[in-house]
Amino acid sequence: MAGIRSRPNADYPTPTRLLSVGYILGLSLIALMSLMAHMTLGRVIAENRDTAEIVNLAGRQRMLSQRIAFYADRYTQTGAQEDRARMLAGAEEMATAHKRLMGETSGAQKLTLSPTLKDIYFIGPAAVDPQVRGFLSHVSGLGMVRETDAGRFHSLAIVEAAENDLLAGLERVVLQYEKENAQAIERLETMQRYTVLFILATLIAEAFLIFRPLVNRVRVYSNELKQQALTDALTGVANRRAYIETSKREIARFNRTGLPLCVVVGDIDHFKQVNDRHGHDIGDATLKMVAQALAKVLRQEDVLARTGGEEFSILLPGTALHAACEVADRLRDTVSKQTVTLPNGDVLQVTMSFGIAELETEETQIDGPMVRADQALYRSKDGGRNRVTAAVLASAQPLPA
């Protein structure tokens, strides 16, 4: 036995072969996981863009229903053609948004409703789709007749719907869209955590230094997604979700320190006309220009967010109401001096109207000052636009939206 030379058994691989197979297997697993993560993240990012559009459209419908009801009631009382025009313009915008949500807009990518949203829109006595269509039908009817019993019936139906069933239904829609968006992000974050853990385990087993670039790539993807979840894709400023989250921290700081906190809401004047006359490309360029102009005036600690189609909201920590008015006036003046170049070489100038409110001692949510700032904004609009109006008392009666 001692004189017999041993040799590798052909049925058993050598250690080198085992290492090679393990190394190749590890690389293959990491490559497969990286490819899956990349494709999934790309798909979720695209879905988030659609969700942001949907949430914006749904929230816009909710606001438009209140505005339409306000002008409908005023038109019934006064017969002013300006109120009628505003009522019908709001109804047209609301109808367009509803068609987009229902996938009835030609040429646009069809939006997919979840089973829960389909139930909210179409099932039961409180279904939102027939409520919206009925509401718009009443608006159309009121636009044709006013000084008749039919006109008064339409007006009462519009106001009642906007204050009760329709408002509640649209609120359910917005909350469901936001819930589904949050669930999608949560699923993505869960997937991302498991993916990272798997990759790290394989990296340690095979060769940490070789796989480090893959870990960095996953981290970049994660940060990109989180950034997009909190950033308005068009303007690059914070979105409504980031604004609400930041407001909670600032309110907590306000309660700890007692330093003042003001809310500024700004709206581009006649923005719909910009889109109608020059197209959405110029409208988008205008929004970008406005965001950049506002950012130049604000401090690093101030929070600028796009919270609506042409609406921007700003948090001014440590700023009292009189100082906030000065800041808002600088914002107004800066925007009015900016221009957007049109394709024919002409330049377009726009203005903004602002409303301001200060957080009061007993308030723990941003809703109160936001409502008062919105009311002040409407007074700026009604007062001729391109101006700043401050809300003084939280107890002031709100103007209809």
> In tens digits, what is the pLDDT along the chain, a chain of 401 residues?
333 333 444 444 444 454 455 557 666 777 777 777 667 666 666 666 666 677 777 777 778 887 877 877 877 787 788 888 887 888 888 888 888 877 777 666 666 777 888 888 788 887 888 877 877 787 777 767 766 666 666 666 677 666 677 777 778 877 887 787 777 777 777 777 777 777 677 667 665 655 555 556 667 767 777 777 889 989 999 999 999 999 999 999 998 998 999 999 999 999 999 999 999 999 999 999 999 999 999 999 999 999 999 999 999 999 999 999 999 999 999 999 999 999 998 999 999 999 999 999 888 899 999 999 999 999 999 999 999 999 975 444 444 43
Confirm if 189 and 229 have CB atoms less than 8 A apart. Answer: no
Distance CA 86, CA 92 (A): 10
Question: What tokens appear for 162 in the block?
Answer: 């906007």
Three-state DSSP at 314 gives strand
Alpha helices by DSSP H, listed for 230-366, are 240-257, 271-278, 280-297, 321-336
Q: Flag whether 7 is in a domain.
A: no
329 and 223 share a domain? no
215 and 248 share a domain? no
Three-state DSSP at 397 gives coil
Predicted pLDDT at 50: 62
Predicted pLDDT at 195: 72
Predicted pLDDT at 272: 93
Q: Flag whether 399 is in a domain.
A: no
Q: Flag whether 274 is in a domain.
A: yes
Choose one of 185, 206, 229: the last residue of a domain: 229
Confirm if 303 and 246 have CB atoms less than 8 A apart. Answer: yes
Predicted pLDDT at 128: 80
State pTM to two decimals: 0.47
Predicted pLDDT at 11: 47
Predicted pLDDT at 40: 65
259 and 222 share a domain? no
Question: What tokens appear for 246 in the block?
Answer: 């930041």
The count of structural domains within the chain is 2
Distance CA 355, CA 237 (A): 19
Predicted pLDDT at 10: 45
Q: Flag whether 2 is in a domain.
A: no
Predicted pLDDT at 5: 37
Other CB atoms within a 10 A radius of the CB of residue 156 amount to 15
Predicted pLDDT at 399: 40
Choose one of 206, 229, 252: the last residue of a domain: 229
Question: Where do we find the tokens 């709001």?
Answer: 90
Distance CA 37, CA 332 (A): 45
Q: What element of type H or E holds 56?
A: helix 15-78
Predicted pLDDT at 112: 73
Choose one of 177, 202, 229: the last residue of a domain: 229
Distance CA 369, CA 376 (A): 10
Question: What tokens appear for 102 in the block?
Answer: 């229902």
Integer CA distances (angstroms), 23 to 27, 31, 216, 302, in order: 6, 12, 20, 51
307 and 382 share a domain? yes
Q: Which domain holds residue 344?
A: 240-390
Q: Flag whether 248 is in a domain.
A: yes
Angle at the Cα of 268 from the Cα atoms of 267 and 272, rounded to 5 degrees: 115
Predicted pLDDT at 370: 94
97 and 159 share a domain? yes
Given its phi and psi angles, is residue 236 left (phi above 0), alpha (psi -120 to 50 degrees) or beta?
left
245 and 133 share a domain? no
Three-state DSSP at 316 gives strand
Predicted pLDDT at 57: 75
Size (the chain), residues: 401
- CB burial class (10 A; 0-12, 13-18, 19+) of residue 265? buried
Q: Flag whether 235 is in a domain.
A: no
